[in-house]
Amino acid sequence: MSRFSADISQHIWDTKYRLRQGDAAVDATIDDTWRRVATALAAVEASDEAAWATRFQSALQNFRFLPGGRILAGAGAARRVTLFNCFVMGTLEDSMDGIFDGLKEGAVTMQQGGGVGYDFSTLRPRNTPAHATGTIASGPVSFMRIWDSMCATLLSTGARRGAMMATLRCDHPDIEEFVDAKHTPGALTHFNLSVLVSDAFMEAVEEDREWALVFPAAQLDDETPGELVPRRWSGGTKTVQCRVLRRVRARALWERIMRANYDYAEPGILFVDRINAENNLYYREHICATNPCGEIPLPPYGACDLGSINLTGFVREAFESNAHLDLDALRATAETATRMLDNVIDASRFPLPAQQAQARGSRRIGLGITGLGDALIMLGLHYDSDPARATAAQVMELICHTAYRTSVQLAREKGAFPFYERDAYLSATFVRRLPQDILDGIAAHGIRNSHLTAIAPTGTISLLANNVSSGLEPVFDFTHRRRLLERDGGYADHQLTDYALRRWQELRGDAPLPTAFVDARALPPRAHLDMQSALQPFVDSAISKTINVPEGFPFDAFQDLYREAYRRGLKGCTTFRPNAVTGAVLEAGAAPAAVHCCSIERETD
């Protein structure tokens, strides 16, 4: 039987995941929640439904496997909701009808429980004429404010918290306005912002060259002056001629992006060419947006099907000299979790038919980890050490390869994903790095899921799991107060004690803490980058990671973190430095007007 050892965990379950009918609770205990979810996901099996339900429930018990929040809340609830945490929406057409069709689709998706991501690069830059209507374009940022208002309106109706991601290309003429958009407290508070940074831009920054800001010529007035250059633009499948509207110094634009991030934590950076080069479905997709926290780059109408393995549940002999991970149990859980997430695709409703077609065509899932920071402490490993990084990489490699092997077996049993093309898939950059037995299995039988791994921020489900450290993050703080939303829409403070510290105190009382007990603020920023780099080779989607930066960290060193992230082959980078606009990630007092992208107030569970 699963047990709550932290009051905050029972609160999270009761307010977010416990099934209710009106005011009456249907789930009497957390085990009833596990049973409901397991039964619902096993119902799509063609045979042995009861046996799979038992196996699924076993994986969920004691918080060993934590499906995404929408799965926990919605599976078996007989409600018109989606089990997918988040979506990337369709390409925005640069017309008033197209823009408001996109707004409507986003509203419908968010109403049913999904966060949304949009690339606004397809919208004409500010002050360009539209002679067909005799008007002047107001630019992408102006329309983002309409989305922000829509999200706020939905929240006022009692819908769950909204989360949105907005991306813009680094060569869009309105990129500077986008970068500065959240300079004012309270602006675009329901959005996370990320710049789509290309390899060409990074080269221009290094060489201190001029950088062309462009837009597709076919969407501009024929008389608009400017040189033409080829670009593969957002929302398109082919290279098109784009008109150069102006030029800036690449390094000046880069420093403007970095200064905004340093001063008010956004926008983040997505290395979009690397995302596309590493995409297993490179042969049919061009990605230019992600889910709200960035761990799943997705094509138009793509969806997030997420779950995380709680590593603290696999530590044996915690704090002893022979502390170790039970890798056999971890492997078995990864096998079961892969099948569960695959079943979510068939068990879920979808807000839009296009989302269903995309999800069932690719059958993308994102299996990841949580509790890494606490697990390392329980193993006696300092987060910023080679043994810790080696252990984390070993774990992620095991999960990745187990998921791929399981997906091959699922393809033998149930068929490959519909978008599968054998030779093209086997030529994908990430796939080519897999062990030979997996490649042979894919060649012979196909594979059930196009993508299998992602590491999400997991803030809420980690609180549910007795307040383990979230995702691959170190422990933020061992004891602190946190202000959380209540069922009535108000806020209340909760006292939190980290899971590893609580376990230590249960076993050793007031004995001095070992050196492995290190929190995020005691780590150099480079330690965060090192851990993300250690795991990225085994993640076929992406990683949501916040690099904590002290307030007094030098700006030049801050910029170097992003350049180093690019040099190391990461798909994106997010930092957080306490500042006057967004405050701190976790703090007592009134709920902040602007909230960091990977905090519990903004992630989609």
Q: For position 81, what pLDDT does the model report?
A: 84
Q: Kindly report the pTM of this predicted structure.
A: 0.95
Residue type, 247: R
Query: CA torsion 463→311→164→340, rounded to 10°?
Result: -110
φ, ψ of residue 569 in degrees (nearest 5): 85, 20
Q: How far apart are CA 280 and CA 570, in angstroms?
A: 16
Tell me if 571 sits within 8 A of 270, measured CB to CB: yes
Residues 6+ apart with CB under 8 A from 247: 210, 211, 212, 213
Tell me if 552 sits within 8 A of 523, measured CB to CB: no
Whether the predicted pLDDT of 595 surpasses 60: no
Structure tokens at 470: 């979230």
Give the pLDDT band of residue 405 (cuts 50, 70, 90).
Answer: very high
Whether the predicted pLDDT of 554 surpasses 90: yes
Other CB atoms within 10 A of residue 459 CB: 25
pLDDT per residue over 490-505, tens digit each?
788 889 999 999 999 9
Give the pLDDT band of residue 339 (cuts 50, 70, 90).
Answer: very high
Whether the predicted pLDDT of 113 surpasses 90: no
Beta-bridge partner residues of 482: 494
Whether the predicted pLDDT of 588 surpasses 70: no
Structure tokens at 10: 């029972």
Q: For position 52, what pLDDT does the model report?
A: 98
Q: For position 487, what pLDDT does the model report?
A: 72
Q: For position 221, what pLDDT does the model report?
A: 80
Lowest mean pLDDT among 13-17, 355-359, 370-374: 13-17
Q: What is the 3-state secondary structure (H, E, C) of 505-549?
A: HHHHCCCCCCCCCCEHHHCCHHHHHHHHHHHHHHCCCCECCEEEC
Burial class from Cβ neighbours inside 10 Å (0-12, 13-18, 19+) for residue 288 reads: buried
Q: For position 591, what pLDDT does the model report?
A: 35
Give the pLDDT band of residue 582 (cuts 50, 70, 90).
Answer: low
Lowest mean pLDDT among 3-7, 93-97, 363-367, 585-589: 585-589
Q: For position 80, what pLDDT does the model report?
A: 80
Give the pLDDT band of residue 584 (cuts 50, 70, 90).
Answer: low
Whether the predicted pLDDT of 477 surpasses 60: yes
Q: For position 18, what pLDDT does the model report?
A: 95
Picking from 375, 336, 359, 400, the residue whose alpha carbon sits closest to that of residue 540 is: 400
Average confidence (pLDDT) over 336-365: 97
Picking from 1, 31, 11, the residue whose alpha carbon sits closest to that of residue 463 is: 11
Give me the active site residues, please. 291, 293, 295
φ, ψ of residue 196 in degrees (nearest 5): -80, 105
User: Which has more confidence, 488 or 365?
Assistant: 365
pLDDT per residue over 217-265, tens digit each?
999 987 778 899 999 999 988 999 999 999 999 999 999 999 999 999 9
Average confidence (pLDDT) over 346-361: 97
How does DSSP assign 171-186, residue by residue? TSTTHHHHHTTTSSTT
Q: How far apart are CA 86 and CA 116, in angstroms?
A: 6
Average confidence (pLDDT) over 584-596: 40
Q: For position 131, what pLDDT does the model report?
A: 61
DSSP 8-state secondary structure symbol assigned to residue 253: H
Average confidence (pLDDT) over 448-474: 96
Lowest mean pLDDT among 51-55, 307-311, 446-450, 494-498: 494-498
Distance of CA 347 to the CA centre of its chain: 22
Q: What percent of the chain is predicted at pLDDT more than 90?
A: 83
pLDDT per residue over 117-140, tens digit each?
999 999 999 999 876 666 889 999
Picking from 244, 265, 92, 289, the residue whose alpha carbon sits closest to that of residue 179 is: 265
pLDDT per residue over 291-302, tens digit each?
999 999 999 999
Q: How far apart are CA 303 and CA 351, in angstroms?
A: 11
How does DSSP assign 57-108, residue by residue? HHHHGGGSEEE-HHHHHHTTS-SS-BS-SEEE-PPPPSSHHHHHHHHHHHHH
Q: Tell me the average pLDDT of the chain.
A: 92
